[in-house]
Structure 1
Amino acid sequence: MTITENVPPPTRNTPVAFVRGILTGGVTGASLAAFVVGCVIGSVTLCVLSVGVPVAYGLLLFLAAMPRWVREAAVPLCTALARIETLEAVGGEATSDVAVRFDVTVAPDDGPAYRVVFKQHINLVDLSDYRPGSVVVVRYPQDRLWRVRILKRPEPEWAERLAGARLDSAPGPAVVRDPAEGRGAVGFVSLIALLLAAAAVILLFRADLFDQDTTGQPSSSGRPSVSSTSSTTVVSSASGTVALGAGQSFLDEGELRRAVGSLTKGKDSGRALTVVVQDRLLSVVFAPTGSPAPGFDPASVPYERLPALVEEARSTLGVRSPQTWQITVDRLTGTLTVRVGVTGAEGAASLEADDQGKVVRRTPVG
């Protein structure tokens, strides 16, 4: 088959994507911050709003997307032969399926051939069936040329055409890509919006958070206690922090559990809201007495696994020169979650682990 021409890449509604990313990041950051602030200051209204606003926003996005989904579902599917130019496994080695990035030449019966790049999960057993230069049967929506999927078991008519079929390569690099790829800028804008919205909520309620009793002397139970040897410990009824001296790190064996024990001594051990750890700074936010917030026992955190999780995040997520790291432990989703984030010149990356310290999700750079 002779290749005649390429097709132009699809247009992308970039401004709309940026606006949606800003709104999503803002709503997420403001809601999370409002929930934590509401639990700390004991505001039921703020906690309810922090849950209701993202639910309403998600419903709005769902309703706005429904017409597009209906239109896309009505578009007929096209079947064609395609030649595999290159393929590369890009993830999923821990499961039976592996994500593979394909670069193929698609040769429709009623149009010019074109090059397209897409990802598809392929079973490890079947991976050897796909080689550069081989011909496969693909299917894609008529109006979305980039949404190509390889058919493992094509219809008999296409199976006959596939036998002995040969295709030429379309010239040049791939010109059609999934618009979902390359949205790093939108994700970055969403992250900035999340942080700004969270900071705005904290600044709005800073008086309630930090100046709750400025007219009288604090009670003996609420008066911070400070001690200093090789570290500085500050404990109040709402929070506690431990700052290590120079040359020390919370990644040292046993250091984290000892520090958390010094903060929770004499307190209800099942009422921590968050535990945040940096290299030499530990912060614990306690739930107010009688608060319905989903607290957890600080002693239940798998502290012995945290140094290994930090090392894994620093070495396997694409940050070649990690500069900072942070561990955040909470139970906002109903189960204990450990998040480890690292940043460097390449950007930010993170991983999540369960209450046993087992990694359940990785988010590499980009």
Structure 2
Amino acid sequence: MIKLVRGFLTGAVIGVTVSAFVTGIIIENVPLILTGIGLPFAYGLLLFVAGMPRRAREAAVVPRVALAKIESLRASGTETGDVPVRFDLTVAPYGEPSFRAKARLDVNLVDLPSYRPGDVLVVAYPPDRPWKARIVEPDAEWARRAAGATLASAPESTVVRKPSAGSGHGFLVLLGILVGVAVVVLQFRTELFAPAAEASEASEASEAAEPTSVTSSSGSATVTVDPGQSLADVGELRRAVDGLAQHADVTKVLTAVVQEHRLSVVFAPTGVTVPSFDLRALPVDRVPALVAKARSTLEVGTPQTWQVTVIPFAGAVTLRIVVTGPDGSASLGG
């Protein structure tokens, strides 16, 4: 039960560590980054302190000494000096059945030929953990026993291994990782996802407010849209007007001309009292419908071009749509 709980806690620490570190970097939260760095060290210290009584009990166990026969050995490296050698041993404890065990020993290259399959060594292991068998330097008595001993090989089915934690342990580790990640992500979900959504909305708003091209001077201004767009489309003229308002003062406009891809504006001269109007107050939402009506009712043939002229007249603002085709031009007032 303790192993299962420890597995879950280990998974949770892994999940919190990784998600806290990554989330801290994304949202630029230094304390969260430090939490991701420091948590595994704190957890490791906790495990070390919690495991001290167990290690003390294990150290108090008197190891059992026995003879062991080398079944096979394999060096893990060829570098000079000591190399790690893995031994497959048959361990023959006195008065008990023999069993197979694995052991590791660092052997100097000069001494490596002294270890051959069939040789008898002396090993020590905890009685309750025989898979921790280790090759030891024997005293005189055990050296004498090993020199004259002949051991039969134990079957490979008797090999001893550390008990597996089982599939439940792995499941709880995975569950802990998922829980740890969820705790951090849910805790900081606003900082993680809101900025992206706000940035997307701001980008869309910026794209909606900015026309393709704006050219402005003291007396006039021109807004040009892409060839694939038309100011007769719903919302396009409003977008062009709002975009122009970001670059020029459109509260005193003398005249405005709307064409398929261009909005041209002439401003009232400064210091001169002339009829003018606020371009932003223009009922631009009516223009697409008026253009569509003019193109469908005025018989000028096809293809057609159109132009909307806006001027102040007698205290009001008038719109006139002129449609030109192969058969001439015609106009419609709005």
After the TM superposition, which residues 41-52 of structure 1 pair with which residues of structure 2 at under 5 Å, given as runs?
Answer: 41-52=27-38
Distance 2:135 2:23 in 1: 49
Match of residue 131 from structure 1: 116
Amino acid at match of 1:210: F
1:94: how far off?
6.3
Query: CA RMSD of the aligned region, Å?
Result: 3.5
1:37: how far off?
1.2
Match of residue 185 from structure 2: 202
Distance 1:19 1:52 in 2: 21
After the TM superposition, which residues 229-268 of structure 1 pair with which residues of structure 2 at under 5 Å, given as runs?
Answer: none
Q: Is 2:148 aligned against 1:164?
A: yes
1:96: how far off?
5.3
SS across alignment from 1:167? coil
After the TM superposition, which residues 190-339 of structure 1 pair with which residues of structure 2 at under 5 Å, given as runs?
Answer: 190=173, 193-194=176-177, 197-198=180-181, 200-212=183-195, 214=197, 218=202
Match of residue 79 from structure 1: 65
Runs of 4+ in 1 over 4 A off after TM superposition: 91-101, 182-189, 213-219
SS across alignment from 1:208? helix
Distance 2:122 2:42 in 1: 42
Does the C-alpha gap of structure 1 residues 51 and 143 become closer, same or farther in structure 2, counting only changes over 3 Å? same
Match of residue 284 from structure 2: none
1:149: how far off?
0.7
Match of residue 67 from structure 1: 53
Asked whether the 8 Å contact 1:99–1:119 carries over to 2, the reply is no
Match of residue 107 from structure 1: 92
Distance 1:155 1:113 in 2: 24
Asked whether the 8 Å contact 2:66–2:92 carries over to 1, the reply is yes
Asked whether the 8 Å contact 2:87–2:103 carries over to 1, the reply is yes
Distance 1:198 1:213 in 2: 20
Amino acid at match of 1:194: I
1:102: how far off?
3.2
Q: Is 2:132 aligned against 1:147?
A: yes
Deviations 1:168-196 (A, max 9, x none): 233562242234xx568556753564355
Aligned length: 203
Distance 2:166 2:86 in 1: 18
TM-score where L is the length of structure 1: 0.46
Distance 1:100 1:195 in 2: 39
Does the C-alpha gap of structure 1 residues 192 and 85 become closer, same or farther in structure 2, counting only changes over 3 Å? farther
Deviations 1:216-252 (A, max 9, x none): 7658xxx9xxxxxxxxxxxxxxxxxxxxxxxxxxxxx
1:107: how far off?
2.2
Amino acid at match of 1:212: P
Does the C-alpha gap of structure 1 residues 212 and 55 become closer, same or farther in structure 2, counting only changes over 3 Å? same
Q: Is 2:118 aligned against 1:118?
A: no
1:77: how far off?
2.2
Asked whether the 8 Å contact 1:116–1:175 carries over to 2, the reply is yes
SS across alignment from 2:153? coil
Distance 2:171 2:80 in 1: 29
Distance 2:174 2:103 in 1: 25
Asked whether the 8 Å contact 1:103–1:174 carries over to 2, the reply is no
Structure 2 segments unaligned to the other structure (5+ residues): 208-334
Find the partner of 2:3 among 17, 20, 26: 17
Distance 1:168 1:213 in 2: 71
Deviations 1:264-309 (A, max 9, x none): xxxxxxxxxxxxxxxxxxxxxxxxxxxxxxxxxxxxxxxxxxxxxx
Q: Is 2:158 aligned against 1:174?
A: yes
Q: Which protein shows a greater Rg?
A: 2
Distance 1:29 1:165 in 2: 54
Does the C-alpha gap of structure 1 residues 190 and 88 become closer, same or farther in structure 2, counting only changes over 3 Å? farther
Match of residue 339 from structure 1: none
SS across alignment from 1:139? strand
Q: Is 2:54 aligned against 1:54?
A: no
